[in-house]
Amino acid sequence: MKKFISISKFLFIGMLAIMVSNCEDLDEGSEGLQSSGTFYADANTLDAGVIGIYGTLRRNNWGLDNYSHYCGADDLTSRLGSNKWVVLESDQFARTAGNSWSTNDWNGNYSTIYAANSFIQNAHPEGVDEAVINAAQANAYFIRGLCYFRLATTFGDIPMPLSPSPDFEMTLTPKREVLEQVISDFEFAIQWSDNARDTDPTVSNGRVTKTAAKAFLAKTYMQLTGYPYNETDKWANVKSLTNEIIGAGVYSLMDDFAKNFQDPHQVNKEVIHAHVMSRESWPIITQNRVYGFRWANWMDAYMEWTYYNNFPDGYRKEFSTSVDPETNQFFVEFGNPIVTKYTYATGAPNSTDPVGEVKEHTWQTSNDRIAMRYAEVLLMYAEACANTGESAEAIDKLNMVKRRAYAKGSTKQAEVEALAVEFWKTPDPMVDYTSTELNTTEKLVDAIVKERAYEFLGEVGGNRWLDLVRLDMVAEVNANRDPNDVPLIGNPADKETWWTPIPSGDVVLNPNLGN
């Protein structure tokens, strides 16, 4: 289970630090509150501020709201009727500025950004070693960079405040400039982060590491290689950063894919960064409302049929999906393949043996939301190698992920446990790609992108959607839409439909944000 060291001691103080972050004009005696400039007095108050910012970030990632951006991909869909229009708008390419889920995501990201900006500006207590201050600041820079990355890759051109003072006449910053700021923020985190988890993955503190900052910086550069930027020279950056992580030898694949998504096992050598969740957190509520959402299965999002029908066989598929009417009532009721990858509250019926403390019908859990795994580092490195003439290296890393997913044909966790340790390092002719099979760059990249599509199903950040956008494949995959799925309204070939409109309420308050 996760270890929360001294968190409860500072949670309330951290939240207070955020609440008063814009109160610079208050006297120190005003209603007993301190301005943020005087709040940060020592290392303990620095830590309290960091905890508060992470609490705000995690609160914005506890549910499915951010999936409202990503369902234009070919993996997830929903159903007509009920309240599912918030998901279907992107799925049908009919996005509006009144989508409540995308508005929630917008507000949550900017609340987090303003908290980070306040910390960056004010958290410089006198008498505290500069290295200690910078290590704390690294968290704020990383969080701000992550929020801006997610905003720029979903909304496009956005306002980019870098101070804690709101500007109600702020104009839009081009998304490429926003990503340049993201790069700068991640670079600061790489330079100054000080976290034992960079050498010991069993440490559980939820803070930024140099490893995580490098991985997200690589992801940012990878997004720049394709549409709408086409900066192919950035593949060198992607390869260098991911190779550093691989070469360090600290992180690795878990033998059991499933353990990355089960609370008792999530502090492991594969999870590079996660939004740490807890049902017991107070006063910043950060329980997970995704894995146990709507009676333990996703009732808001399912798989599209074409995606499911092409899902590679093996343990990963058995753990992640269900179309069995005998064991899955939700498939019978809604008629689309069900995502069972996140069903900690009730065990995936067709795949896993029970794991400790399984609870029936729990709609909030302590499962972390995994934001970056070593598998993603391997596949980013593989794609970078494929695009820079190192096909053998690309195939080697791709096959590692593919072997682990197949797990020698296992269907139960007990069967995976019985396999040789690190079995995925040994060639497996049943699933391995060969250089003869992937004899062109195009074929190799296609294989890597396909592996990414199924490896990261439904994980926070919308990897499949981001891949389809940067590779300009949105229209192509939607042309293969199954007639049993919800019909399209807009045109996936119209790139304007790829971006989420800025919430209408913000545009009313500041017409400069009008799309």
The per-residue pLDDT of the chain, averaged, comes to 87
Looking at the DSSP assignment, which residues form a beta bridge with residue 372?
A: 273
Tokens read off for 83: 């309240």
Q: CB 308: neighbour CB atoms within 10 A?
A: 22
Q: What are the structure tokens assigned to 464, written together? A: 């499949």
pLDDT at 333 over 60: yes
Residue 2's pLDDT is what?
A: 52
- What is the rounded CA–CA span in Å between residue 401 and residue 418? 19
Nearest to 337 by CA among 345, 352, 346, 348: 348
Digit-coded pLDDT (tens) for 129-141: 999 999 999 999 9
* Residue at token pair 């995925």: 424
Phi, psi for 77 (deg, rounded to 5)? -145, -175
pLDDT-derived band of residue 81, with 50, 70 and 90 as boundaries?
confident
Query: For residue 189, which phi and psi values (nearest 5 degrees)?
Result: -65, -40
pLDDT given at position 53: 95
- Residues 358, 345: Cα–Cα separation, whole Å: 6
Query: 396: how many CB neighbours lie within 10 A of its CB?
Result: 18
Helix (H, G, I), strand (E, B) or coil at 321: strand
Half-sphere exposure of 312 (CA within 13 A, CB side): 23
Contact 291, 346 (CB under 8 A): no
Between these two residues, 486 and 18, which has the higher pLDDT value? 486
Residue 2 contacts residue 204 (beta carbons within 8 Å) = yes
DSSP bridge pairs for 322: 338
Distance, in Å, from the CA atom of 47 to the CA atom of 66, rounded to the nearest integer, reads 28
| Residue 442 to residue 380: CA distance in whole angstroms | 15
Does residue 214 surpass a pLDDT of 60?
Answer: yes
The rounded distance, in Å, linking the Cα atoms of 213 and 272 is: 10
Long-range contacts of 279-285, Cβ-Cβ distance < 8 Å, separation of 24 or more: 279/364, 279/365, 279/366, 280/366, 281/7, 281/11, 281/55, 282/8, 282/11, 283/11, 283/12, 283/15, 284/11, 284/14, 284/15, 284/52, 284/55, 284/56, 284/58, 284/59, 285/59, 285/62
How far apart are the C-alpha atoms of 168 and 506, rounded to whole Å? 9
Apex 375 CA angle, 195 and 311, nearest 5? 150
Q: Which residue has the tokens 């309204």?
A: 489
Distance CA 184, CA 26 (A): 32
Compute the distance between CA of residue 37 and CA of residue 23 in angstroms, rounded to an integer: 9
Q: Which two tokens stand for residue 281?
A: 């957190």
Rounded to the nearest 10°, the torsion over CA 194, 200, 202, 205 is 0
pLDDT digits (tens, 9 = 90+) for 252-307: 999 999 999 887 788 999 999 998 887 776 566 677 777 544 444 456 888 999 99
Looking at residue 353, its pLDDT comes to 42
Strands 338-339 and 302-303: unpaired
Question: What is 232-253 written as a DSSP string?
Answer: GGGHHHHHHHHHHHHHH-S---
State the chain's maximal CA–CA distance in angstroms: 74
Is 107 buried (19+), middle (13-18) or exposed (0-12) by CB count in 10 A?
Answer: middle
Q: pLDDT digits over 380-424, tens only?
A: 999 999 999 999 999 999 999 999 999 999 998 899 999 999 999
pLDDT at 260: 92
Task: Give φ, ψ of 379 to 5 degrees.
Answer: -75, -30
> What integer is the mean pLDDT of 357-363?
48
pLDDT for residue 281: 62
The pTM of the full predicted model, rounded to 2 decimals, is 0.91
2: left (phi over 0), alpha (psi -120 to 50) or beta: beta
Where does the pLDDT of residue 492 fall: very low under 50, low under 70, confident under 90, or very high at 90 and above?
Answer: very high
Distance of alpha carbon 109 from alpha carbon 336, whole angstroms? 31
- Give residue 19's pLDDT band: very low, low, confident or very high (50, 70, 90): very low
Predicted confidence band of residue 345 (pLDDT cuts 50, 70, 90): very low
Question: What structural domains and CATH numbers belong to the chain?
Answer: 7-481+491-513 (1.25.40.390)
**Residue bearing the bigger pLDDT, 10 or 2:** 2
Confidence of residue 37 (pLDDT cuts 50, 70, 90): low
Question: Which strand (E) or helix (H) includes residue 50?
Answer: helix 43-59
pLDDT of amino acid 288: 74
User: What percentage of the chain has pLDDT greater than the value 70?
Assistant: 85
Residue 445 burial by Cβ neighbours in a 10 Å radius (0-12, 13-18, 19+): middle
